[in-house]
Amino acid sequence: MEHVFLSPERRIRVLSTAIAAAVALYAVVAIVAEPIRALGASSDSETAVVQIAISSGIGINCDADAGGAGSGETLALTGFSDSGDTGELNSSVTVGTNAVRCNVRTNNSAGYDLAWKATSGSGGASTGYMINQFEDTLTPFRYTQSDGTTAPTAWNATSVPSTVAAWGGRLADSSAGYANSPITWGADASSNEKWMGVASGSTVTIARENAETVDAGSNNDIGFRVAVGGDKIQPSGTYQTTVTFTATVQ
């Protein structure tokens, strides 16, 4: 057999062609095989965050006549002739007789404030007073004191002497907002019950909770009291004023 010898120039040309072909083949294999290698993993994972913002809401319902909650209801305190005292709560809180029950519901994790205020004009020219149909008035409890609507005190002969007729309120110690109230009310007992006049300027917070309420809401019982001293001539009539209760998220 006859052997054909390539010249050095042709040998170089053949080798260059082979090298170029090998490089091109590798590029094709890399392009095709790389995606296959990524898709060929046995597992893969990603994460997603699911989020919703729930805002705070609050509601209040007050029952004054023990007939179910409703705005504008009347709490009719037990009357008396000439002089007398409707009396302390003394652990005998009765909605519709000596107290109004306000139920507060909120999902606010910081809780709520419950405040009161005598509605402007409901006491006639002297807001904060109770007024009858003849425009006679009952003065707010401790109305002569500068802190009469922010610092409760005992209801006794010193606060309500025999020549005075007055009315006031307090938060019952069984109330949900009693423990954290900014007001030091004292317990429901004749020896240390504390009362004060209902605010007539800015609202005054009387009850507070520092967390969301239970599903059924939180009950706060607000007792009211009227006394007419034995030496006071208080004109007859039906006395009343309107108290607004406001619940606010903290």
Residue 208 has what pLDDT? 98
Residue showing tokens 């069984």: 174
Is residue 233 domain-resident? yes
Is residue 44 domain-resident? no
Is residue 97 domain-resident? yes
Is residue 149 domain-resident? yes
pLDDT (tens digit per residue) in 117-150: 999 889 888 889 999 999 999 999 988 888 899 9
User: Measured between alpha carbons, how far is residue 157 from residues 94, 148, 164, 193, 198 in Å?
Assistant: 25, 16, 10, 14, 20
Is residue 153 domain-resident? yes
Q: What does the alpha-carbon distance between residue 141 and residue 197 come to, in Å, rounded to a whole number?
A: 5
Mode of pairing for the β-strands spanning 194-195 and 153-154: antiparallel
Q: What does the alpha-carbon distance between residue 219 and residue 223 come to, in Å, rounded to a whole number?
A: 13
Is residue 23 domain-resident? no
Q: 82 lies in which domain range?
A: 57-250
**72, amino acid identity:** G
Three-class DSSP category at 62:
strand
Q: What does the alpha-carbon distance between residue 22 and residue 104 come to, in Å, rounded to a whole number?
A: 82
Residue 155: both structure tokens together: 């209801």
Say yes or no to pLDDT of 162 above 90.
yes
Sign of the torsion formed by the C-alpha atoms of 25, 31, 34 and 35: negative
Q: What is the mean pLDDT of residues 182-205?
A: 93
Q: How many domains does the chain have?
A: 1
pLDDT (tens digit per residue) in 64-120: 999 999 999 999 999 899 999 999 999 899 999 999 999 999 999 999 999 999 998
Is residue 213 domain-resident? yes
